[in-house]
Structure 1
Amino acid sequence: MNVLVCLAGILFLLMIVIGGKKGVRSFIALFLNFGVLFFTVVFMTNPNANPIIITLVASVVISYINLFYINEVNVKTKMAFLSTMMTIVVLFLFIINVSKKAMIQGFGEEEIEELSVFSLYLGVDFVKIGAAVIIMSTIGALTDAAIAISSPMSEVLKHNPMISRKELFQSGINIGRDILGTSANTLFFAFFGGYMALLLWFKDLSYPAGEIANSKIFSAEIITILIAGTGVALIIPITSWITAYFLVSKGRKRKKGDNPPVH
């Protein structure tokens, strides 16, 4: 417990020194997001609840916390929030279909021994639970990519007010291309870091490559990474278009208001 407190204290101090007030809000947001995830899991255990609806509501709340609470309400966070919601809607049906056809719901054989003493008849739809897990795994990457694109685009417009909508959109795409590679690698290494013990299990038991690829746990995580990467790839043009459209439109309206016609 003392180690946890010390690490939290070090993180908190660093976030204050480097991030200032925004760093404090970011630290508090960690606990707010944890609270959202906790209540999401609690509500999902209700057999009468729909895990997908609960997850979508939780995704909206998490996006609100990560964008509006940490970075405050401004044009950048509004565009990032709108882009995130549009991307989630686009991915929603795709995630549901992939979860059903890939049959990644439930528990893998590597987990059965540990769970054998418990009843698996929980009365919940594990297909929807699997889809909910993918959505929740994707939302963080989407909000991160969205604000990472909308923020520099607003700076580009600020320093070059005469830029056209097409040029601003292309700037967003160029920024997104730099983000895409690092985001995909972040998701990839997060999986291998969290599932290193599973990989050692496969190694010690001499799993062949085909059996590893068809393992439910392994394939579920790889599918989550691929869908999250697809979401990041989709949100780049969506955020770039939305931000370019609204920022340039807002700039033109402001110019018309500043220069009324002379009679």
Structure 2
Amino acid sequence: MKKYILLLLIFILITNIAYASTNNILKAKIVDTNNTSIDSTDYQLLDVVILDKPYKNKTLNIKHLIIDYSANNQHFNIGDTLLVEVSNTNGILMGTIVDTWRLDSLKKLSIIFVILLIIFGRLKGIRSLLALIFSGYIIIKLLIPYIIKGYNSILCAVICSSIIIIISFLLISGFTKKTLVSILGTIGGTISAGILSLIFTNLSNITGLAEDEAVFLAANMGLEVDFKGLYLCAVIIGTIGVIMDVSMSITSVIFEIKRKSPRIPFTDLLHSGLNVGKDVMSTMINTLILAYAGSFLPLLLIFIMSKTPFLNALNTELLAVEVIRALCGSIGLILTIPLTALIATYVAFRNTAHNNYLYN
């Protein structure tokens, strides 16, 4: 229990790290509001108190223009916290709203997530949390910096994905032969998805610049990277989670069947693993494709509202990249099933003569 409490305190400490203000963008709390309208244009006149240094406790008057169907379509209330860009001109402070301060809400949601994970998952839940934190660290501190430095995006994604897979399995399941089989199956499925996405990205003449974020990076940030490779990174990273789940499920079932029925023939055990894989596959593919479909739902609305023919819409790079991502991830998941089942069956039979072979 002490370990659980210590890890929980560490997480709360991380989520309570103070916001470090950059330049003149500071937090401010609304203490008074006044709604008004000029020439059919809605405004809010806000009185805010700055919460960060060097202008802490100073009061600003800010005019907030409300624009429908834009990021400015927000009505603020007393007590809301904002990010405000403050300028000092001859001792007179002026402020403009940058965004709403959301990290307090995200912190509360994160704490609820961690508490429930620990209550219902116990030690497994804590290990899963550590694996999640480690995965995020690898992506932010290793994958992205090396891509920015100009290294091959696909190679970086494969290496970082392999590290994430290995460490995540070791944290969650410990160092066992079941873990080793799951790692091999997951890496095999992930690499398969990456190779397929590379082939069909080239066949489809995907540039990687169809999305606004990529265009922004190229035009405004001066980032010189292989945007096609960056897109392939997203495909590889996006398939890890579901493939890990499928690989571990099949491995666990095969090892458990072999433990309960030591005399089961090799082919029967292999078929049992494949049958379980088929059941898992049907739900996981549905989950994977629906997740990708949900991510481009606003785009589908645009095409439908503009009455663009379906095949023409599907032919655009904006939709084609999502189709490639979903299908290549699904194919990688499918190929994981026979690969994992074959490796797990072989390892289970090879270790039959050893006691506790599942855990040594």
User: How high is the TM-score relative to the length of structure 2?
Assistant: 0.65
Percent of aligned positions that are identical: 26
Comparing 136-145 with 198-207, greater Cα deviation is found at 198-207
In structure 2, the partner of 1:161 is 262
Equivalent residue in structure 1 for 2:205, among 90, 103, 119: 103
Partner Cα distance (1:104, 1:211) in 2: 16
Asked if residue 197 in structure 1 is aligned to residue 298 in structure 2, the reply is yes
Comparing 246-255 with 235-244, greater Cα deviation is found at 246-255
- Please state how far the C-alpha of 1:120 moved relative to its aligned partner: 7.9
Change (3 A) 1:120 1:98: farther
Q: Deviations over 1:67-114 (max 9, x none)?
A: 111121212111010122233444443332212111223222x73998
SS in 2 for 1:243: helix
In structure 2, the partner of 1:77 is 179
Change (3 A) 1:164 1:72: same
In structure 1, the partner of 2:149 is 46
User: How many corresponding residue pairs?
Assistant: 253
Equivalent residue in structure 1 for 2:216, among 107, 115, 122: 115
In structure 1, the partner of 2:157 is 55
Higher RCO structure, 1 or 2 (CA under 8 Å, sep 6+): 1
Partner Cα distance (1:11, 1:163) in 2: 42
In structure 2, the partner of 1:209 is 310
Equivalent residue in structure 2 for 1:232, among 329, 333, 356: 333
In structure 2, the partner of 1:258 is none
User: How high is the TM-score relative to the length of structure 1?
Assistant: 0.87
Q: Note if contact 1:105-1:129 (Cα within 8 Å) is conserved in structure 2.
A: no
Q: Note if contact 1:66-1:143 (Cα within 8 Å) is conserved in structure 2.
A: no
Long gaps (5+) in structure 1: 256-263
Higher Cα Rg, which structure: 2
Change (3 A) 1:120 1:96: farther
Asked if residue 23 in structure 1 is aligned to residue 125 in structure 2, the reply is yes
Q: Which has the higher helix share?
A: 1
Q: Note if contact 2:158-2:191 (Cα within 8 Å) is conserved in structure 1.
A: no
Q: Note if contact 2:270-2:342 (Cα within 8 Å) is conserved in structure 1.
A: yes
- Please state how far the C-alpha of 1:254 moved relative to its aligned partner: 5.1
Asked if residue 221 in structure 1 is aligned to residue 322 in structure 2, the reply is yes
Partner Cα distance (2:213, 2:233) in 1: 22
Change (3 A) 1:184 1:90: closer
SS in 2 for 1:252: coil
Long gaps (5+) in structure 2: 1-102
Comparing 166-175 with 65-74, greater Cα deviation is found at 65-74
Partner Cα distance (1:66, 1:200) in 2: 37
- Please state how far the C-alpha of 1:201 moved relative to its aligned partner: 2.4
